[in-house]
Amino acid sequence: MKIQHFFDEVTNTLTYVIYDEKSKDAVVIDPVLNFNYASGEVEIHQVKSLLEFFQMHHLILHFILETHVHADHLTSAAYLKKEFPLAKTAIGKRITEVQKTFKSIFNLPKTFATDGRQFDKLLDDDEIFHAGSLKIQAIQTAGHTPCCLSYLINDQAVFTGDALFMPDYGTGRCDFPGGDAAHLYRSIQDQLYRLPENTKVYVGHDYLPGGRSLLFQSTIEEEKANNVHLPAKSSETEFVAMRQTRDKTLAAPKLLYPSLQVNIAAGNFPDPEDNGLSYLKVPLKLS
Ligand SMILES: [Fe+2]
C-alpha cells in the first residue's frame, strides 16, 4: 500500500491517494476543489494534480471518500466523478442529519433531498468494504460534526479527518452545528486510541503551528502520549472544558458558507436559476 499526500496551502487541507502498486486499486480521501470566493471562480489545480497522478501510476479510482462535510473547503468529488464515472462517493450515514440541519439554515428548496442520495454509498459505523485489493474500515469518530468518520486502510493507516490532528496541534473544533466535544472525546478514546499503537495516523489538516514545516503523519502511540489536547490520560471534563474555551476564540472559516452548501450535495453546486447561473447563499445576521 502506498500513500501520496496533496496539501492545499489555502485551507491547510490534506488530501490523500491510497493505492496498491501491484493491483493499481486506489481511493482518494478528502479531495479539494479550489474556489475563489471573491470572484466565484472554480479553480481545479488540485483536480489536475490528482488526474496527472492517477494517469502516471495507471490507477483505478474506486472510491472518493469524505471524512465529513467540510466547512472550510469545497470537495472536488463531483469534478472527479466526471473524470472517473465508475468511482463512488462515500460518506458516513449521519450525513442525513447534517443535510437536515443545513437545509434549514440555508432555507434550501423543498426538493433538496436529505436522505443522503447525493452520495453513492452511505457508510455504517465499523462497516468494512473493499476497493479492489484495499480493505477499508469506516470508524465512527463524531464530535467535530455528527457524521465524521475515520478510515482505517489495510489495518495499517487511519485517516482521521478533523477528529485528530498532529500531536502538536491537537483536535478539531466542535462548535459547528451538531458538534459535541464530549462526543469527540469518546470517539478518540474509544475508537482511535484502541487501535494498535503502531497504526499510522494521517491527519486532515495541518496548520503549521509555530511556523514549523508541514507534518501530516503520526502514530496512535505518539498521539496517546503527546497530543496537546487529548493525551490518553486526560479526562472528559478537562477535554470538554479546553475544547469549549478554545472554540470560543476561533473565527468562522473563510469558505464556511460555500463549503457547506456544496459539500452536503456531494460537491454539486446548486441548480442553475432561470438565467442559467448558479448562486450560493450567505445567511445574514442582522443586528
Ligand atoms: Fe472539518
The model's pLDDT over 32-54, given as tens digits with 9 standing for 90+, comes to 999 999 999 999 999 999 999 99
Output the CA–CA distances (angstroms, integers) from residue 135 to 10, 62, 86, 204, 259, in the order listed.
32, 12, 18, 20, 29
pLDDT at 271: 94
For the cut 90, the answer to whether the pLDDT of residue 287 exceeds it is: no
What mean pLDDT value characterizes the chain?
A: 97
| In a domain? residue 277 | no
> In total, how many domains does the chain have?
1
Q: How confident is the model at residue 204 (pLDDT cuts 50, 70, 90)?
A: very high
For the cut 90, the answer to whether the pLDDT of residue 244 exceeds it is: yes
Task: Give the range of the structural domain holding residue 40, as residue numbers without chain letter.
Answer: 2-263
Cβ 209 vs Cβ 215: under 8 Å: no
pLDDT at 224: 98
For the cut 90, the answer to whether the pLDDT of residue 126 exceeds it is: yes
Average pLDDT over residues 105-118: 97
pLDDT at 152: 98
Ordered strands of the 88-92 beta sheet: 2-8, 13-19, 25-29, 60-65, 88-92, 121-123
Q: How far is the CA of 90 from the centre of ligand 1 (A)?
A: 16
| In a domain? residue 150 | yes
| In a domain? residue 153 | yes
| In a domain? residue 178 | yes
Residue count of the chain: 287
| In a domain? residue 278 | no
Q: How far is the CA of 275 from the centre of ligand 1 (A)?
A: 33
Q: How far is the CA of 238 from the centre of ligand 1 (A)?
A: 22
For the chain, percent of residues with pLDDT exceeding 70? 100
Residue 199 is part of a domain; what is its CATH number? 3.60.15.10
| In a domain? residue 285 | no
pLDDT at 203: 98
Residue among 253, 62, 269, 281 nearest 145 (CA): 253
For the cut 90, the answer to whether the pLDDT of residue 255 exceeds it is: yes
Please count the other Cβ atoms lying within 10 Å of the Cβ belonging to residue 87: 21
Question: Which phi and psi angles does 186 have, rounded to 5°?
Answer: -65, -40
Q: How far is the CA of 226 from the centre of ligand 1 (A)?
A: 22
Q: How far is the CA of 236 from the centre of ligand 1 (A)?
A: 21
Q: How confident is the model at residue 68 (pLDDT cuts 50, 70, 90)?
A: very high
Q: How far is the CA of 23 from the centre of ligand 1 (A)?
A: 32
| In a domain? residue 126 | yes
pLDDT at 247: 97
For the cut 90, the answer to whether the pLDDT of residue 98 exceeds it is: yes
Q: How far is the CA of 52 from the centre of ligand 1 (A)?
A: 26
| In a domain? residue 61 | yes
Q: How far is the CA of 256 from the centre of ligand 1 (A)?
A: 10
pLDDT at 13: 98
